[in-house]
Chains A and B, each alone.
Chain A
Amino acid sequence: MAIVFDGTRESYVERLSEFLDSGQKDAPEWITTLRREAISGFAKLGFPTLSDEEWRFTNLEVLRRGSFSIAENGISGVSKKSVDSYGFPGLDCLRLVFVNGRFASSLSDTRDAGKEILVKSLSEAICEQGDLVKDHLARYADYEKDAFISLNTSYFEDGAFVYVPDGTVFEKPVHVLHVSTDEGHPLFINPRNLIIVGQNSVAKVIEHYVSASQSVYFSNVVTEVVCGENANLEHYRLEFESQKAFNFSTLRVNQQKNSNIASHSVLCGGAIVRNNVHPVLGGEGCNSDIYGLFISEGRQHMDNFMRVEHASPHCDSRQFYNGVLDGRSKGVFHGRILVHEGAEKTDAKQTNRNLLLSDTAQIDTKPQLEIYNDDVKCTHGATIGQMDEEALFYLRSRGVSMRQAKIIMLQAFTAETLEHMSIDSVREVLEGVVMKWFEQRLQNGKGK
């Protein structure tokens, strides 16, 4: 029997027992308890509305009216070949593949994980490394305050588990590929990833969301990251969901002393997308570099919600977010910087630049600084504009066609964020995707 949600708060609350009875019989007690706690969080919260300050610009009415169900068909819809097509040419990496939120071991490749490094599915880790998982899972992403985190914590089936022990430099990226397929009715998918990088360790993780069909589904992602003392993580979130999908994601990072993270978000797919990036700089000397690029067309809606929390002294954070919007699409950049009382010598910087390719595209950009310490340096800046006419003319006066001039300008604009990616083959693939997107846009009547 399919587990179906009719969109109401009650349905999501009530179906949990069915869910626990069907696929979760063998789950450890603590997981079941966690799910129950989480759903009671959702029962209190319900889906946010426009009157919620943090959701002012994103209307979830369609989600509240939509009927979704848990996937049943397993991983059969996805072949090795199609998985390969989502790869990055020449990249030597490990691969974890999930189909509709379930682990596809036959499509994954984790042979090369080092001796003590663990790269596996979270459900396996719950069985095999129960104590380790228990120490971290749901400790950071707050299921009592965020409805989507509550739902994910209640209904997740699987996701990536990456554990790099102390003192380990793990250069090989882990490609975490989440593929969704069409099962004939809209699916409710809850990928849950947990990444633990030990003291003095290095890791690179690429979370990648793709769709094998252009169907409607509700993808609700939570990733928790622990970045130990002096650790270094480069994290990618590449969102290429179906154009009809809903994608809600939270990246919650717990940073310890002197740790560094570089977070790259690239949002391209989805009908309604919300990307929460929430690092907590929890020890002295942390550094967070947060880069984002969103490109939207048609009626896509992309909401980027940053919450950079400076909880310790002498930490630096940088946010660079660029948006390119076409058609009647809407973008939101909500950049919250929260500096706690004890976080003196905080240095936080935020830049959001947006390029509108049509008169009907729209962007709401909102910085929000909440500072409880006098000894800090916080700057923010946002721009919204069309393509620079003077620059276009200059390029054309050199013989470059209008179309090529526009492409050159767009490339330069997107490079501002993409160029910070350290994995060349990922950056190159993204440049290619972005380029193709531009070419299509420019073909549809824009420019010559």
Chain B
Amino acid sequence: MLEVKNLHVQVDDKEILKGMNITVAPGEVHSIMGPNGSGKSTLAQVLAGKETYEVTEGEVTFQGKDLLDLEPEERACEGIFLAFQYPVEIPGVANTYLLREALNAKREYRDEKPLKHIEFAKLAREKMKALGIDEDLLKRSVNAGFSGGEKKRNEIFQMQILEPTLAVLDETDSGLDIDALKIVANGVNSMKDSGRSFIVITHYQRLLNYIVPDFVHVMVDGKIVRSGGKELAYELEEKGYAGF
């Protein structure tokens, strides 16, 4: 589904990703762990198409297509979703408005009819209930004045509505208490299926108790330095990153 080969990325002449490799097959859950500043968010943003990051070498294929050739909105329509580490606040744009626009853009891309208001409202209500999100969150401006936990849950809510093929969750667990963490994990687990993959970026092994990865990768200084099964997460928990 996703293949990242020897990816080099720089910002302002500073190299951040230094030959990144990762292959994700349909239905798999991969976890990327690594210390602060190792380049995890950079990878996530590059996958989503952020233009401030310059790809200097390497390639990224997604479902057979050259991902780097696509605009961010095309990537989203192709099925990529990024849950931002720092979701952006957009005052004046209602959450529900963004979601409906996004969903309908995706439907249009697939030559489907736009969803009617009522249909959308019904869909949104169902998903919100499961995530324990208050309905007035829909009417509020996108992320504006949301608490840290609300922002993270809102990202998962968007993911549920947009039903991506590949979801990249960038530290969606940070700042969540254990109850919120379980809700978020449930939101992810309920979406698992054989055609959908996840890349779960996290700092802590904690989340992986709830979202069980098939593979764990350790990222240090812009590269994957070790890959393994979920037991690697426990090893990291004990030893820290110092050994890598």
- Indicate if the CB atoms of B72 and A396 lie closer than 8 Å: yes
Asked whether B241 is an interface residue with its Cβ less than 8 Å from the other chain, the reply is no
Asked whether B49 is an interface residue with its Cβ less than 8 Å from the other chain, the reply is yes
Asked whether A394 is an interface residue with its Cβ less than 8 Å from the other chain, the reply is yes
Within 8 Å CB of A399, what residues of B?
Answer: 73, 76-77, 102-103, 105-106, 109, 162
Binds B, one of A56-64, A294-302, A401-409: A401-409
- Encoded as 1 (CB less than 8 Å from any A CB) or 0, chain B from 157 to 174 comes to 010001000000000000
Report if A394-B77 is in contact (Cβ < 8 Å); known contacts: A399-B109, A402-B71: no
CB B119 to nearest CB in A, in angstroms, measures 18
Asked whether A395 is an interface residue with its Cβ less than 8 Å from the other chain, the reply is yes
The size bracket of the interface on A is 20 to 34
Q: How far is the CA of A246 from the CA of B33 in the complex (A)?
A: 63
Within 8 Å CB of B82, what residues of A?
Answer: 397
**Residue count of chain B within 8 Å CB distance of chain A:** 33
Binds A, one of B15-23, B89-97, B183-191, B221-229: B89-97
Within 8 Å CB of B71, what residues of A?
Answer: 396, 402, 448
Asked whether B156 is an interface residue with its Cβ less than 8 Å from the other chain, the reply is no
Q: How far is the CA of A397 from the CA of B93 in the complex (A)?
A: 15
Report if A400-B92 is in contact (Cβ < 8 Å); known contacts: A394-B84, A394-B87: no
Asked whether A415 is an interface residue with its Cβ less than 8 Å from the other chain, the reply is yes
Within 8 Å CB of B7, what residues of A?
Answer: none
Q: How far is the CA of A367 from the CA of B51 in the complex (A)?
A: 37
Q: How far is the CA of A229 from the CA of B92 in the complex (A)?
A: 35
- Indicate if the CB atoms of A397 and B49 lie closer than 8 Å: yes
CB B151 to nearest CB in A, in angstroms, measures 12
Closest chain A residue to B143, Cβ basis = A394
Q: How far is the CA of A394 from the CA of B81 in the complex (A)?
A: 11
- Indicate if the CB atoms of A398 and B93 lie closer than 8 Å: no
- Select one of B49, B81, B89, B158 contacting A396, CB under 8 A: B49
- Select one of B90, B99, B141 contacting A394, CB under 8 A: B90
Q: How far is the CA of A409 from the CA of B93 in the complex (A)?
A: 7
Within 8 Å CB of A413, what residues of B?
Answer: 92
- Indicate if the CB atoms of A412 and B90 lie closer than 8 Å: yes
- Select one of A390, A401, A412, A448 contacting B88, CB under 8 A: A390
- Indicate if the CB atoms of A400 and B102 lie closer than 8 Å: yes
Within 8 Å CB of B88, what residues of A?
Answer: 388, 390-391, 393-394
Q: How far is the CA of A408 from the CA of B97 in the complex (A)?
A: 9
Report if A401-B92 is in contact (Cβ < 8 Å); known contacts: A393-B50, A394-B84, A408-B97: no
- Encoded as 1 (CB less than 8 Å from any A CB) or 0, chain B from 49 to 81 comes to 111000000000000000000011101110001
- Indicate if the CB atoms of B72 and A393 lie closer than 8 Å: yes
Q: How far is the CA of A403 from the CA of B84 in the complex (A)?
A: 22
- Indicate if the CB atoms of B92 and A398 lie closer than 8 Å: no
Asked whether A234 is an interface residue with its Cβ less than 8 Å from the other chain, the reply is no
Q: How far is the CA of A294 from the CA of B21 in the complex (A)?
A: 51
- Indicate if the CB atoms of B92 and A396 lie closer than 8 Å: no
Asked whether A416 is an interface residue with its Cβ less than 8 Å from the other chain, the reply is yes
Report if A402-B92 is in contact (Cβ < 8 Å); known contacts: A395-B98, A408-B98: no
Chain A 402-448 interface residues, beta-carbon cutoff 8 Å to B: 402, 404-405, 408-409, 411-413, 415-416, 448
Q: How far is the CA of A160 from the CA of B104 in the complex (A)?
A: 47
CB B11 to nearest CB in A, in angstroms, measures 14
Report if A397-B91 is in contact (Cβ < 8 Å); known contacts: A402-B71, A404-B101, A404-B105: no
Report if A400-B90 is in contact (Cβ < 8 Å); known contacts: A393-B50, A393-B72: no
- Encoded as 1 (CB less than 8 Å from any B CB) or 0, chain A from 149 to 180 comes to 00000000000000000000000000000000
Asked whether B32 is an interface residue with its Cβ less than 8 Å from the other chain, the reply is no
CB A383 to nearest CB in B, in angstroms, measures 12
Report if A398-B84 is in contact (Cβ < 8 Å); known contacts: A393-B50, A412-B92: no
- Indicate if the CB atoms of B92 and A415 lie closer than 8 Å: yes
Closest chain B residue to A394, Cβ basis = B88
- Encoded as 1 (CB less than 8 Å from any A CB) or 0, chain B from 94 to 128 comes to 00011101110110010000000000000000000
Report if A391-B72 is in contact (Cβ < 8 Å); known contacts: A398-B98, A400-B102: no
Within 8 Å CB of B77, what residues of A?
Answer: 399
Q: How far is the CA of A402 from the CA of B101 in the complex (A)?
A: 12
Asked whether B138 is an interface residue with its Cβ less than 8 Å from the other chain, the reply is no
- Indicate if the CB atoms of A397 and B92 lie closer than 8 Å: no
Within 8 Å CB of B75, what residues of A?
Answer: 397
Asked whether B207 is an interface residue with its Cβ less than 8 Å from the other chain, the reply is no
Within 8 Å CB of A411, what residues of B?
Answer: 92-93
Asked whether B48 is an interface residue with its Cβ less than 8 Å from the other chain, the reply is yes
Closest chain B residue to A410, Cβ basis = B92
Q: How far is the CA of A413 from the CA of B103 in the complex (A)?
A: 23
- Indicate if the CB atoms of A398 and B158 lie closer than 8 Å: yes
Within 8 Å CB of B49, what residues of A?
Answer: 393, 396-397
Q: How far is the CA of A409 from the CA of B81 in the complex (A)?
A: 21
Q: How far is the CA of A398 from the CA of B95 in the complex (A)?
A: 12
- Indicate if the CB atoms of A396 and B73 lie closer than 8 Å: yes
Most B CB within 10 A of own CB, among A395, A396, A397, A413:
A397
CB B143 to nearest CB in A, in angstroms, measures 9
CB A447 to nearest CB in B, in angstroms, measures 11
Q: How far is the CA of A162 from the CA of B99 in the complex (A)?
A: 46
CB A276 to nearest CB in B, in angstroms, measures 28
- Interface residue ranges, B against A (CB under 8 Å): 48-51, 71-73, 75-77, 81-82, 84, 87-93, 97-99, 101-103, 105-106, 109, 141-142, 158, 162
Cβ contacts A to B, 19 pairs, < 8 Å: A390-B88, A391-B88, A393-B49, A393-B50, A393-B88, A394-B88, A395-B102, A397-B49, A397-B73, A398-B98, A399-B73, A399-B77, A399-B102, A400-B101, A401-B105, A408-B93, A412-B93, A413-B92, A416-B92
- Interface residue ranges, A against B (CB under 8 Å): 388, 390-391, 393-402, 404-405, 408-409, 411-413, 415-416, 448
Besides A398-B76, A448-B71, 10 other A-B contacts (C-beta < 8 A): A388-B88, A388-B90, A391-B90, A393-B48, A394-B88, A399-B102, A399-B105, A399-B109, A401-B105, A416-B92
